[in-house]
Amino acid sequence: MVFLKSNRRTLEMLEKVESYVTYGYSNLKSVRDLIFKTGLEKLEKERVLLIDNNDIEQALGKHGILCLEDMVHESHTVGPHFKDATRFLWPFSLAKPEGEFLGNINTFKNVGDSGNHEEHINDLIATIT
């Protein structure tokens, strides 16, 4: 899972792969849970658990991002340094949720798992973090 800026171009690309991906609009709690519980940073092309604010400050301090809370804020609000903040993060590896996830290729609007879950993506994130 990755964070993307929601704009016309991104939504057009997501519509093309809608049968193969699940996406939606995350809330602050979901972003915080993902970054705090499962966040990994890219450190010299290695995955490193995101627990040290010094690493964040060293990599993103010039943009005013000094700690985990700043990462959460920048990722959630899609701030001016969103691109730098999300590139610092390793893509989130999420497990298949227990129970409700059907594993089929129908889109969400056709009672499937893939496609635009809109705000319901937060329920899905909560089951896997």
**Buried (b) or exposed (e) across 79-100, using 16+ Cβ within 10 A?**
bebbeebbebbbebeeeeeeee
> What pLDDT shows up at residue 111?
47
Q: Is residue 106 part of a domain?
A: yes
Quote the number of domains for the chain: 1
Q: Is residue 53 part of a domain?
A: yes
Q: Is residue 81 part of a domain?
A: yes
Q: Is 73 exposed, middle or buried (0-12, 13-18, 19+ CB in 10 A)?
A: middle
Tokens 């798992």 belong to which residue? 113
> What pLDDT shows up at residue 107?
52
Q: Is residue 1 part of a domain?
A: no
Q: Is residue 2 part of a domain?
A: no
Strand 115-116 versus strand 22-23 pairing type: parallel
> What pLDDT shows up at residue 103?
53
Q: Is residue 90 part of a domain?
A: yes
> Where are any strands of DSSP class E within the chain?
22-23, 40-43, 46-49, 115-116
Report mean pLDDT in 10-residue bins for the chain, 129 residues.
93 89 92 92 86 91 96 95 94 69 53 77 83
Q: Domain range for residue 93?
A: 8-128
User: How many Cα neighbours within 13 Å face the side chain of 114?
Assistant: 13
Contact in structure between 15 and 111 (CB atoms under 8 Å): no
Within its chain, how far is the Cα of 36 from the centroid? Answer: 12
Tokens 């899972």 belong to which residue? 1
Is pTM beyond 0.85 here? no
Q: Is residue 3 part of a domain?
A: no
In 3D, which of 129, 31, 12 has the Cα closest to residue 89? 31
